[in-house]
Amino acid sequence: METREFIEHLTDYAAKYKIWWCEPFEKFREQYKHKGYSRHEMEQYRKALNEFRESLRRENDLLGEIHQFLDQNYRVYIDATSEERIEIRKIVNESEYPALKGGKFHFLEDLLFNYTNDWALKNLKETGDKIWLVRGLVSISMENCGIDYRDTITQITYLYIAAQEKGIDPEIEFQTVAQVSSDEKTRGGCDSLSHMMATTRNLAYYRERTKSFSKK
């Protein structure tokens, strides 16, 4: 797939996903009554949310279609020009929906965030196939630390560790995707995603997690 076609598809998917997910999700949030924010209560919320998402997918699996699109075309982002990647990240960044309590819900950032955690990382752990590492890193690069830099740190750390646990040295893949990632300050508080990704092993969180894993 050529980059221009990728951008057109991404734009089209953004419009479809906004209809498929955003309004139904806001209605779900209105109806779901939080009793609190304890670990148990948040687990109950996530369970209810997953069940709601699966009910939508049974009627129309647009999410699965988008996952397949990202799976098949992740190399397009890597091979694109710098200007084209900026355009892709802008589409992701500007895909917004009015949030229930004010503000904006950046729904493509949320989709990519979940793609990394629930799809790429999951498949990397299950298969040990390096392709899932690259797909996860590309997804993070496209999301561009729009939600919260702490979430991004967690994601890149767990991708790195999951690769190592499967006998993969992930450094080349991390450096490759870091080179095509943004070097500018992000809305989520990251000074440079490119630098963060390139120096994952130096992150305090990475050192903390590898130390804790080594004790198990």
Q: Could you report the per-residue pLDDT of 173-200, keeping only the tens digit for each?
A: 999 999 999 999 999 999 999 999 999 9
pLDDT, tens digit (0-9, with 9 covering 90-100), for 31-45:
887 667 788 888 898
Q: 91 versus 99: which is more confidently predicted?
A: 91
Instruction: Check residue 35 and give its pLDDT.
Output: 65
Q: Is the pLDDT of residue 172 over 50?
A: yes
Domain that holds residue 179: 3-214
Instruction: Check residue 216 and give its pLDDT.
Output: 47
Instruction: Check residue 214 and give its pLDDT.
Output: 52
Instruction: Provide the H-helix boundaries in 94-192.
Output: 107-115, 121-127, 130-143, 149-165, 171-179
**Helices 149-165 and 204-214: angle between axes, nearest 10 degrees:** 40
End-to-end C-alpha distance for the chain, whole angstroms: 44
**What is the C-alpha separation between 16 and 184, in angstroms, rounded?**
29
CB 155 within 8 A of CB 200: no
Least confident of 28-37, 77-86, 105-114, 179-188: 28-37
Q: What is the pTM of this model?
A: 0.93
Q: Which residues contact 72 (CB under 8 A, 6 or more apart)?
A: 1
Q: Is the pLDDT of residue 7 over 50?
A: yes
Domains of the chain: total = 1
